Amino acid sequence: MNARRRSADRTETIMQTALDLAREVGYAKLSMEAVATRAGVGKDTIYRRWPSKALLFLDAVLSSRITGLEHPDTGDIVADLREVMIRAVDLLAQPPWGPLYQELIGEAQHNPEVAAALNERFIQPQTADTLARLKTAEEQGQLAPEFDLDLAFEVLSGPLYFRLLITHQPMTPDYIDRLLQAVFAGMGPQPQS
């Protein structure tokens, strides 16, 4: 096995160990020392790759396979948004990703480096994909042409984060349907009089 492959395997082992420990003890009690011990590597090996526990945790969480959150284009913006929102809700409702993502967002609230990396590596790509789908829908006449698409994204995602992080109420398909109905009642093209 060559050195590059061994290094990649070691990196993967360290990130998986960090995820496993975070699930067991929570992010707050996660330590670089515990990760090093369980992964069978020296602390220096970890610190060469990640200067902080927070950045190791970010990489570990975001290295998890997150698939199916790209927007299809079936020609029905509401159906397409619903499909992706339900996939996201299903992902967040299940361990390990949901609880780990909540802890990652919590860390981002007081760690600007983690906030910037989370935004760059996850939030921005998801936002860009949603905005591109909304723009296509606008061009197809499914949305009012004067509607602010950036605001539309925030209106669609805000209630999900509110439930995920504040109220911890379930995010069900029925809730997604009610949210989309409320949003699209105001975002749809208005009949000409």
Amino acid letter, 101 = Y
The pLDDT value given to residue 28: 86
The pLDDT value given to residue 1: 59
Nearest residue to 101 (alpha-carbon basis) of 192, 171, 3: 171
Task: Tell me how crowded residue 193 is: count the other CB atoms within 10 A of its CB.
Answer: 3
Q: Tell me the fold of 77-187.
A: Tetracycline Repressor; domain 2 (1.10.357)
Q: What is the pTM of this model?
A: 0.78
Q: What is the pLDDT of residues 34-51, one digit of tens each?
A: 999 999 999 999 999 999
Query: How far, rounded to the nearest angstrom, does the alpha carbon of residue 185 sit from its chain's CA centroid?
Result: 27
> Is the link from the previous residue into 95 a cis peptide, with omega within 30 of 0?
no
Query: How far, rounded to the nearest angstrom, does the alpha carbon of residue 170 sit from its chain's CA centroid?
Result: 17
SS3 state at 58: helix
The pLDDT value given to residue 188: 60
Query: How far, rounded to the nearest angstrom, does the alpha carbon of residue 53 sit from its chain's CA centroid?
Result: 19
The pLDDT value given to residue 73: 93
CATH match of 3-63 with 1.10.10.60: yes
Segments of the chain with pLDDT less than 50: none
Domain boundaries, the chain: 3-63, 77-187
